[in-house]
Amino acid sequence: MGKRKAKRYFFLDGVPHKKLQTNHGADILIAWNYIERKRVAYVLSVARRNMERAFLGPEVQKMLGRHRNSLYNYVSQGQIREPFKTYSLDGTDRPGMYLWSEKDILDLHGMLVQRGYGALPSRAELLAMMRNDVVLYTKTRDGKFTPVWQEKDW
């Protein structure tokens, strides 16, 4: 079994899915809906506009600088809401990995900031990491760089 690719997983209207097949010519996306437990077909161009990326545990660990055991402890101790847990599609329903939405990650970040858990990226930096955006920084008088707000440039 190879490495799992995060690009295969996404949320559509808050519902977790796994891409099974993409037909660009016919503009069709076939995916597994984890909530309804069935294959579904979407118009690819419409789904792309409305889909939200799903993040895997290692990505969340890297963004927030936390160990996987720490994330597991936050969930098991009820400090944060449990992200959606996948299951195998071979009929055995073995539990799989967690799929983190942007909201899950921002909630986790908020909890860590509120409780003062070590060095963390700012909210703007975290959003930029999740959306592959650019963060603008300004240099303060003491030589430190702080992120600043930037208006979207269309």
Asked, for residue 40, whether it belongs to a domain, the answer is yes
> Residues 68-73: what's their mean pLDDT?
93
Asked, for residue 12, whether it belongs to a domain, the answer is yes
Looking at residue 39, its pLDDT comes to 96
Instruction: Provide the number of structural domains found in the chain.
Output: 1
The parent domain of residue 11 ranges over 1-53
Asked, for residue 13, whether it belongs to a domain, the answer is yes
Asked, for residue 84, whether it belongs to a domain, the answer is no
Asked, for residue 111, whether it belongs to a domain, the answer is no
Task: Reply yes or no on whether the pLDDT at 77 is more than 90.
Answer: yes
- Helices and strands (H and E) in the chain: how many: 5, 9
Extended strands (E) in 14-76: 15-23, 28-33, 38-43, 51-53
Asked, for residue 38, whether it belongs to a domain, the answer is yes
Task: Reply yes or no on whether the pLDDT at 118 is more than 60.
Answer: yes
Asked, for residue 60, whether it belongs to a domain, the answer is no
Task: Reply yes or no on whether the pLDDT at 119 is more than 90.
Answer: no
Residue 145 DSSP SS3: strand
pLDDT digits (tens, 9 = 90+) for 40-61: 999 999 999 999 999 999 999 9
Asked, for residue 66, whether it belongs to a domain, the answer is no
